[in-house]
Amino acid sequence: MCRYSNNTETPKDKTFQKIMEQLDGFMEHLPSEEDKHLFSKMVSGCYDKHYEAIKSMEGHDPGLITPLIMALIVDQQSMVDRLQVNNC
């Protein structure tokens, strides 16, 4: 989240901040700083990749998490599929 912590926020940055604020409780309970960093990096990468789909729900603050989770699932399944193809 540190890359969004400057004072020159754009609407995209504010959307990301809202998402990260909603995920703070979850992140606080991750067992290690490494896990927290990995989760934050994963969310950030997914947000950047699927910005338009996630942004479409910005008017519904609680709804920001749903499109993010769906985007994470799509990314994870894509990674699993690539790994399966490479192992066959």
Please, are residues 4 and 13 in contact by the beta-carbon 8 Å criterion?
A: yes
Please, are residues 69 and 48 in contact by the beta-carbon 8 Å criterion?
A: no
For 37-75, what is each residue's pLDDT tens digit? 888 888 898 889 888 888 887 776 666 777 778 788 878
Please, are residues 59 and 67 in contact by the beta-carbon 8 Å criterion?
A: no
Q: Quick one: what percent of the chain has pLDDT higher than 90?
A: 5
Q: How far apart are CA 35 and CA 70, in angstroms?
A: 20
Cβ neighbour number for residue 2 with a 10 Å cutoff: 7
Q: Give residue limits of the domains in the chain.
A: 13-87
State whether the Cα torsion 82-37-65-49 is positive or negative: negative
